[in-house]
Amino acid sequence: MSLANLGLQFAGKALGWLGVFTLLLISILFLGAYIGLSSSWSTLIALVGWATAFRLTSLQRSAFIALAVALLTAVGYLIHRPSNDRSWKPEVARLPQLEVESNRLSITDLRDFRWNSKETFVERWANATYDISQLAGIDLVVVPFDDADLAAHVMLSFSFEDGRRLVVSVEGRLEIGETYSLMGGAARQLELIYVFGTESDLIDLRIRHRGDRLYLFPLRLDPNFAKELLLELCQSTNQLNDQPKFYATLRNNCTTSLLRHVNRLREEPIGLSREILFPARIGQLLHRLGYLDTNLDWPEAKQRFRVDDKIGETLDLDHYSRILRAAILEH
């Protein structure tokens, strides 16, 4: 056999074993997510299993085993169904219910927690009414994860002429003892929830108790578009009460879900881009498209509308939204 043929044969086997490991790793990561196993342990199990197969059996038999594990994973993925009946964490225990009559929006179970730390809180749920004909605008809330400029949580804050703010946050609905993970979202382990709440809850939690960076970008939008977007979000939220859905790490997350609602109302949809895939940069995308309500260039706008570094440790939560905006204007 020629040297070239030997090289091709070796490369073929190497790719085959790499394929077996990749398939085994993905399958066990999903299976691990089903039973609550961490990604680290799942990866270790996949590595040990692959190494054992490499030493003790043939490539063909190993590929068959990997396919069988993948089939088991696929069955589990397809038969798992979302539910509203689980032991939820208190902050996502209630699905909001919304009723629109003429211009009157009534919300049952608006979240208005008072946070003492990132783990302790005073649980408060409210019933509230808004006049959507008095909708004044929308702010985009961007909360980057840790110190990264890639992943982020994104929310919308609707402002009304009476000074009130209504925040809509699309999240993975966590059960007691459960933590958010990308793998859990990919493996259908998290249900989807639209949280309707106050800025003194959803924003204050992230700034003062989790220590997150937070940007509050005012959007330049037609008032009718803002109204239609809010109504669209209300309709989808109500549907979750009867038809629960899974949160999905890429397809149905905080950013792509909101983008889907926006694009349903636009003649020219905003396409998928790296800023959508890495939503910590979504402010830059909207600035480039002319949707930020500012004449500042991007570096200046990014600094101006960062609010976590502009407020003190103690705030009057009853006037939280006004204090946030005043902090932006003062800097």
For the record, the structure tokens of 234 come out as 């209300």
Question: The domain containing residue 125 runs over which residues?
Answer: 90-330
Q: What is the predicted pLDDT for the residue at 326?
A: 85
**Whether residue 128 is found in the same domain as residue 263:** yes
pLDDT over 70, % of the chain = 96
Torsions phi, psi for 143 (to 5 deg): -125, 95
CA distance 25 to 23: 5
Q: What is the predicted pLDDT for the residue at 6?
A: 65
Give the chain's mean pLDDT. 87
In a domain, 320, yes or no: yes
What confidence tens digit (pLDDT) does each residue in 173-191 have? 999 988 887 777 777 888 9
Q: What is the Cα 280 distance to its own chain's centre?
A: 12
Whether the model clears a pTM of 0.85, i.e. scores above it, the answer is: yes
Q: What is the predicted pLDDT for the residue at 189?
A: 84
CA distance 80 to 184: 13
In a domain, 323, yes or no: yes
pLDDT at residue 1 tops 60: no
Domain boundary among 20, 55, 79: 79
Residue 122 class from Cβ within 10 Å (0-12 exposed, 13-18 middle, 19+ buried)? exposed
Q: What is the predicted pLDDT for the residue at 253?
A: 83
Q: What is the predicted pLDDT for the residue at 60?
A: 85
In a domain, 166, yes or no: yes
Count up the domains in the chain and report the number. Answer: 2
Q: At 66, is the secondary structure helix, strand, or coil?
A: helix
What confidence tens digit (pLDDT) does each residue in 282-308 have? 999 999 989 999 999 999 999 999 999
**Whether residue 238 is found in the same domain as residue 283:** yes
What confidence tens digit (pLDDT) does each residue in 121-145 have? 999 999 999 999 999 999 999 999 8
- The structure tokens 């270790």 sit at 44
The mean pLDDT value for 136-160 works out to 91
What confidence tens digit (pLDDT) does each residue in 190-218 have? 899 999 999 999 999 999 999 999 999 99
Domain boundary among 79, 110, 144: 79
pLDDT over 90, % of the chain = 47
**Whether residue 159 is found in the same domain as residue 68:** no
Cross-strand bridge partners of residue 60: none
**Whether residue 226 is found in the same domain as residue 270:** yes
* Confidence label for 18 from pLDDT (cuts 50, 70 and 90): confident
DSSP track, 121-145? EE--EEEEEEEGGGEEEEEEEEEES
For the record, the structure tokens of 71 come out as 């089939």
CA distance 21 to 46: 7
Domain boundary among 46, 79, 112: 79
**Whether residue 18 is found in the same domain as residue 123:** no
CA distance 301 to 295: 8
In a domain, 292, yes or no: yes
**Whether residue 215 is found in the same domain as residue 130:** yes
149 touches 280 (CB < 8 A):
yes
**Whether residue 125 is found in the same domain as residue 203:** yes
CA distance 103 to 163: 17
In a domain, 254, yes or no: yes
In a domain, 318, yes or no: yes
Which of 34-43, 124-133, 219-228, 315-324 is modeled with the greatest confidence? 124-133
In a domain, 231, yes or no: yes
**Whether residue 71 is found in the same domain as residue 149:** no
In a domain, 85, yes or no: no
What confidence tens digit (pLDDT) does each residue in 95-119 have? 999 999 989 999 999 999 999 999 9
What confidence tens digit (pLDDT) does each residue in 62-85 have? 888 888 888 888 888 888 889 999
**Whether residue 146 is found in the same domain as residue 292:** yes
pLDDT at residue 3 tops 70: no
